[in-house]
Amino acid sequence: MSAPTQPAPATTRSDPYAPKGLSLTLESTGAILLALLWVLPLAYAVWAAFHPAEYTTRFVLTAPLTLDNFTRAWAAAPFARYFLNTFILVTLILTFQIVLGTLAAYALARQDFWGRDVAFVLILAQLMIMPDALIVENYRTLAKLNLIDTIPAIALPYIASAFGIFLLRQTFKTVPKELDDAARVEGASPLQVLMKVYVPLAKPTYVAYGLVSVSYHWNNFLWPLLVTNSVESRPLTVGLQVFSSADQGIDWAVICAATLMTSAPLLLGFLLFQRQFVQSFMRAGIK
């Protein structure tokens, strides 16, 4: 966000309250110290994961580097399967969230019909009633559907996302009505208008929502823990928890390696697309 996406005035105009001299030094020092404190857990995990176990608590700069902890962690639990499960899970959730969200948002933003406001309030209710609070009843429903211990069971409570519908509705409302009318004059059906006019124009919102959704469900733990009990359906977070608590005599080096592995794809994605990540969280937050 520093340079290219900033509007020009920020760089050409001078900010009279920008800290200078000593206050800038103090501010920088404070910020860097806090930043160091903030990355300390991650930095420690990197240290422990890439060094032999005897250096887990001894911080010697000459300690030899090794990938042994990663191979041991990889061999100790079916992480390949967990990765696949998580990948299927987040893809499944995001696909359904986008399809259901697009349809609902379009109806709410551009169709005028009986009961629309009631429907909107019913949808917004989910923003407050978080699915986490309803674990007991949702478990019962999925048990009745005979879906316990499957990946769809983890996904189902989340595929209709009030947040996604809300975000897309806001975006669709900003699409000029003239474009919609023009497409209709050309003889496009409502669904064609949606696909050809609204969806392409809302692309930045889809990207922003996608990043928020993927990182949320990649990291989600409590619900997957409840509905899964076998390797075939467990996502990474649950796999990691089973792995690190089943171990007798805690091997911190291996746990750190497994921890890094679990978060690696998101962490790499974050490092590569830092700006998009931060902006998508910003866009998702400011409604």
Partner 1 sequence: MTNRATATIHGWLLLLPAMACLALFTHWPAVASFIESFHSTPKARRPARFIGLDNYQQMLADPIFWKAMSNNLWFALGTIPTSIALALLMAVWVNDRIAGRTLVRMAFFTPTILPMIAVANIWLFFYTPQYGLLEQITGLFGARSTNWLGSQDTALYAITIVAIWKEAGFFMIFYLAALQAIPPSLGEAAAIEGASRWTFFRRIQFPLLMPTTLFVLINAVINAFRMVDHIFVMTRGGPDNATTLLLFYIYQVGFSFWDTAYAATLTCVLLALLALVAFVQYGWLERRTHYQ
Closest distance to partner 1 from the beta carbon of 52 (Å):
16
Taking CB under 8 A as the criterion, the residue among 116, 186, 231, 272 binding partner 1 is 116
Residue placing its CB nearer to partner 1 in the complex, 75 or 264: 264
Residue 15 near partner 1 by CB under 8 A: yes
> In which region does residue 187 sit, left (phi positive, over 0), alpha (psi from -120 to 50) or beta (all else)?
left
CB nearer partner 1, residue 112 or residue 178: 112
User: Could you tell me if 262 and 240 are in contact, meaning their C-beta atoms sit under 8 angstroms apart?
Assistant: yes
Q: What string of H, E and C letters represents the secondary structure of the chain?
A: CCCCCCCCHHHHCCCCCCCCHHHHHHHHHHHHHHHHHHHHHHHHHHHHHCCCHHHCCCCCCCCCCCCHHHHHHHHHCCHHHHHHHHHHHHHHHHHHHHHHHHHHHHHHHHCCCCCHHHHHHHHHHHHHCCHHHHHHHHHHHHHHCCCCCCHHHHHHHHCCCHHHHHHHHHHHHCCCHHHHHHHHHCCCCHHHHHHHHHHHHCHHHHHHHHHHHHHHHHHCCHHHHHHCCCCCCCCHHHHHHHHHHHCCCCCHHHHHHHHHHHHHHHHHHHHHCHHHHHHHHHHHHCC
Count interface residues toward partner 1 (CB under 8 A): 100
Least distance (Å) from partner 1 to the CB of residue 277?
7
Q: Is 225 in the site for partner 1 (CB under 8 A)?
A: yes
Residues 248-267 that bind partner 1 (CB under 8 A): 252, 255-256, 259, 262-263, 266-267
Q: Evaluate whether 190 touches 197 at the Cβ level (below 8 Å).
A: no
Q: Could you say whether residue 113 binds partner 1 (CB under 8 A)?
A: yes
CB of 143 to partner 1, least distance (A): 11
Rounded-to-10 torsion of CA 226, 137, 210, 93: 70
Q: Among residue numbers 142 through 161, which ones bind partner 1 (CB under 8 A)? A: 156-157, 159-160
Among 50, 70, 198, 277, binds partner 1 (CB under 8 A): 277
Residues 28-57 that bind partner 1 (CB under 8 A): 28, 30-32, 34-36, 38-39, 41-42, 44-45, 48, 57
278 binds partner 1 (CB under 8 A): yes
C-beta of 62 vs 111, nearer to partner 1 = 111
* Least Cβ distance, residue 65 to partner 1 (angstroms): 19
Q: Does 270 bind partner 1 (CB under 8 A)?
A: yes
Q: Which of 21, 60, 137, 246 binds partner 1 (CB under 8 A)?
A: 137
Q: Which is nearer to partner 1, 12 or 62 (CB)?
A: 12
4 vs 74: CA distance, rounded Å: 41
Least distance (Å) between residue 76 CB and partner 1: 14
Is 192 a binder of partner 1 (CB under 8 A)?
Answer: no
Name the residue nearer to partner 1 (CB basis): 1 or 231: 1
Which residue reads 């999925």 in tokens? 142
Does position 104 bind partner 1 by CB under 8 A? yes
Residues 84-103 that bind partner 1 (CB under 8 A): 99-101, 103
